Amino acid sequence: MLIAQISDPHIRPAGQLYQGVADSNRMFEEAIDHLHALDRRPDLVLLTGDLVDEGHPDEYAQARRLLAKLEIPHLVIPGNHDSRENFRAAFADHAYLPAEGALHYCIDDHPVRIVALDSCIPGLHHGGIDARGLEWLQRTLEAERTKPTLLMLHHPPFTSGIPYMDAYRYMDTAPLETIVRDAPNIELVLCGHVHRTMLRRWAGTVVCACPSSTTEIALQLAEDAAPASYMGRPGCMLHLWSEAHGMVSHVSHIGAMEGPFPFA
């Protein structure tokens, strides 16, 4: 099974730029075209949050117009720039999304089980999951302890070392870590939020953060570093699972590059 992951497109109303700089709508269209043009088409696309920039209904209307071009089944979760209720209304036809409360769900229709967590706290930018959500997760993971499973949430449950991102991280990770560590079949934890590829061994599995399809947050590790971003090469992730070899993940850069050349 080939699973694509796109994160943090920050879609804006038609004709508006993200942060006045990036044409995030066009870049999201290019990300969709990129997936369609891969030599092996993904079986599923996961969108790991910050689908839009300000959570407004007109942004979600634009997101749905763009997603209508995607020919691959896809699943969505919100990020801190999304509005939970506007998100729910915009994707009312996605029957897997709960009708009320946090947008946690489980999809068990594929060779890899997908468990999705809504790590957003309405009105705030940092992440967390309340006791009710953690109880749901524990029950869901305990119900199936052998099938390969991907866990996805917007906020990575670790400190990145980039100070202006860590101010908005998933804050209290210990309860979540306890539950995840007890589940032996979690292949990967997939996140967005940080607009960079990051990997960390955590809770007996691996956390993989996806780059943005729009801008790249600057890699600055000084404690007093000021927030900064670049128009770096956008990207997505491809997670390839097979029964024989397990899960392997690749960064797939979006956009034209020189080549290919006849060597490897």
State mean pLDDT over 102-114.
97
- pLDDT band at residue 187 using 50, 70 and 90 as cut-offs: very high
Give the pLDDT of residue 114: 98
**42 vs 49: CA distance, rounded Å:** 19
- For position 182, what pLDDT does the model report? 98
Extents of the domains making up the chain: 2-253
What are the tokens at 36?
A: 């369609």
The pLDDT, as a whole number, for residue 175 is 98
Q: For residues 154-159, give the mean pLDDT.
A: 97
Task: Write down the pLDDT at residue 217.
Answer: 96
Mean pLDDT of 259-263: 93
- Decide which of 191 and 256 is more confident: 191
Per residue in 28-81, pLDDT (tens digit) is: 999 999 999 999 999 999 999 999 999 999 999 999 999 999 999 999 999 999
On whether the CB atoms of residues 195 and 229 are closer than 8 A, the answer is yes
Edge-first strand order for the sheet with 105-107 is: 105-107, 113-116, 149-152, 186-191, 205-209, 198-202
* Mean pLDDT across 128-132: 98
Q: What is the mean pLDDT of residues 110-132?
A: 97
pLDDT score for 6: 98
- Which residues, in sequence order, are CB contacts of 122 under 8 Å at separation 6+? 83, 84
What are the distances in angstroms from CA 240 to CA 1, 46, 112?
6, 13, 10
Q: Do residues 177 and 142 make contact, with C-beta atoms less than 8 angstroms apart?
A: no
pLDDT digits (tens, 9 = 90+) for 166-186: 999 999 999 999 999 999 999
Pairing of strands 216-217, 229-230: antiparallel
Mean pLDDT of the chain: 97
Question: In this prediction, what percent of the chain has a pLDDT beyond 90?
Answer: 98
CATH assignment of 2-253, among 3.60.21.10, 3.40.309.10, 2.20.70.10, 1.20.1560.10: 3.60.21.10
Instruction: Enter the pTM of the model.
Output: 0.96
Q: Residue 47: what pLDDT?
A: 98
